[in-house]
Chain A
Amino acid sequence: MTPAQRKQEKPLASRAVQAAFLIALVVLWYLATTRWRVSPLLLPNPLAVLRDFWDILTTGEFIGDLRVTLTELAAAFAISATSGVVVGYLISRTQYRIRVFEPLFAGIFSVPIILFLPLYVLFFGLGPASKIALGATISFFPIALNTIAGFGYVDKMLVTAARSMGASDYQLFRYVLLPAAWPVVLTGMRMGFTVALLSIIGSETIASLAGLGHRIVHLAEGMEMARMFAYIVFVVMIALILNTLVSVLEARGRRLQ
């Protein structure tokens, strides 16, 4: 069964339930601000949030912060994707290195690396450099781990079969190892991208000079709750678009190997 068929078979009903759930959340939110009188300092009215959201979009106020955040993300991901794949591949070449480094990386990956943000700020300053370094560090691990898993656990039978037919080292890499590892490496890159985005926006809210996370905290401190919520909605949408884009690229990448 191809993924396309599976998607078709997914009943429409479950999509409807998902939509209804989200709508119910917004309705509850609305009721909380009107009927149940939750203070607008805690929870602003959704219509006010929508007004601010529209204002942010039409005035283009977001562009500066968005540019900062996306630049940090692009730089962090470029660093982690390159180094993660190279380091992961080199480790995957011997069983000894896999035994040493795989548990080590898995252990480090399970530590909340964002705790080291103060250290990164000391080393790299309050600007984008500290966000890039942190994002790159955090996203390095899933990419390296998946690259190890992809290249390190290729079915021995396939390697033996290729060798018995006279495959050279290059041919073995190009026609056996790479196609076997590629989907796993791509999944690692998608996971890496997601955690890079999370950690960059997260660290912007903690210590920064600009960026979407910085803007949200700045508005919160100014008690501009409706506008802060509008920015949160904006960030959620950007994250949604980016993650969808990366998933589509992943699905495409799987096909061309």
Chain B
Amino acid sequence: MTPDKVAIRVTSVSHQFGEEGEARHVRALRDTSLEVARGELLCLIGPSGCGKSTLLNVVGGLMRPTTGSVEVAGRPVRGPMPHDIAFVFQENALFPWNTVLENINLGMVFQGVPRAERETRARRALDAVGLKDFSQHYPGQLSGGMRQRAALARALSLETGILLMDEPFGALDEQTRMILGEDLSVLLARSGKTIVFVTHSLGEATFLADRVAVFSARPGTIKEIISVDEPHPRRPDFVTSEKFTTIRNELYRLLHDEIRKTMSAESAAPGPTP
């Protein structure tokens, strides 16, 4: 990859929680390197505790890695970069005391968007996720799927080049998840954003990603990267194609051994340290 095409560069990042010898010491991520191209959607998939969310937080500047470095847009990441990176979290990251519209506005206040611009940006983001009739609702009044649409609208309104999504549909049921996935594919094909998307779902990864990075068991690192050569926006019938099935099965094969390893490590040692 030529340097100007690289949106995110991760160089030999390792991360551990706690100090060695402590009871809570966990090696979450080991010597991971990765390049994400501009406009690419990269999925991170792996057994639980493999460090995929840790990697996402390190990329977004929410955690400092123990060793290694991350560059975004050619600059080293040392903390949150609200003008370059927006997050969508798993759930409950909307402020419950604010309406959907207030949530979106507040994000822009934090980011430093001038007042005059906020209104149009918020409208545009709400239109994009199909929530314009729900701008005055509180998160508690929305379904899980709608809450995640609202969280996505808040991230979109920040108009960053990079979107980091940490199992954004993880708490939703299968059908809602499918529809949101389709909508996301359409939305993102238009926006040209660079996206890193953490998921547990093989189908979701295959459907959304340009490339899927499969993690090994903890302490995780990237075991293999699979390309999904299919243009965005992806059509619903992509799911039933042979290509989809082949890639999904390949991911399953790669992941299966790692999940077994995680399970046996957990049953051998009840503590977090293997």
Contact = CB atoms under 8 A, between A and B. Distances in A.
Interface stretch (B8-16, B105-113, B205-213, B255-263): B105-113
A202 interface: no
Nearest to B97: A179
Given A166-B80, A166-B82, A179-B97, A161 B109 contact: no
Contacts of A162: 110
Contact of B62 (A155, A163, A175, A180): A163
Q: Interface size for chain A: under 10, 10 to 19, 20 to 34, or 35 or more residues?
A: 10 to 19
Nearest to B140: A1
A176 B87 CA distance: 17
A167 B93 contact: no
Q: Which among B92, B97, B107 has the highest number of chain A CB atoms within 10 Å?
A: B97
B82 A164 contact: yes
Contacts of A167: 110
Contact of A158 (B93, B110, B158): B93
19 contacts: A157-B89, A157-B93, A158-B92, A158-B95, A161-B89, A161-B93, A162-B110, A163-B62, A163-B80, A164-B62, A164-B82, A164-B86, A164-B87, A165-B80, A166-B110, A166-B111, A171-B109, A171-B110, A175-B106
Contacts of B87: 161, 164-165
Interface string A144-181: 00000000000101101111111110010001100110
B28 interface: no
B50 interface: no
Interface string B61-79: 0100000000000000000
A82 interface: no
The DSSP consensus for interface residues of chain B is: loop
A48 to B, nearest CB: 53
B60 A164 contact: yes
B89 to A, nearest CB: 6
A201 to B, nearest CB: 36
B85 interface: yes
Given A155-B92, A157-B92, A175-B106, A164 B85 contact: yes
Nearest to B111: A166
B95 A175 contact: yes
Nearest to A168: B110
A162 B80 CA distance: 10
B263 to A, nearest CB: 28
Contacts of A160: 62, 89, 93
Contacts of B110: 162, 165-168, 171, 175
Nearest to A183: B97
A162 B86 CA distance: 11
A165 B158 contact: yes
Interface of B: 60, 62, 80, 82-83, 85-87, 89, 92-93, 95, 97-98, 106-107, 109-112, 158
B107 A165 contact: yes
Nearest to A257: B97
A168 B97 CA distance: 19
Given A158-B93, A161-B87, 12 more contacts: A160-B89, A161-B93, A163-B62, A164-B62, A164-B82, A166-B80, A166-B83, A166-B110, A171-B110, A175-B106, A175-B109, A175-B110
Contacts of B92: 155, 157-158
Q: Which 8 A-B pairs have the closest CB atoms?
A: A166-B82, A165-B110, A161-B93, A167-B110, A164-B87, A179-B97, A165-B107, A166-B110
B248 to A, nearest CB: 31
Q: Which among A155, A161, A162, A179 has the highest number of chain B CB atoms within 10 Å?
A: A161
Contacts of B80: 163-166
A252 to B, nearest CB: 15
B99 to A, nearest CB: 13
Given A175-B95, A175-B106, A257-B97, A165 B89 contact: no
Interface in A164-210: 164-168, 171, 175-176, 179-180
A171 B111 CA distance: 11
Contacts of B106: 175
B111 A165 contact: yes
Contacts of B109: 171, 175
Contacts of A176: 95
Contacts of B158: 165
A157 B96 CA distance: 12
A157 B167 CA distance: 14
Nearest to A155: B92
Contacts of A158: 92-93, 95
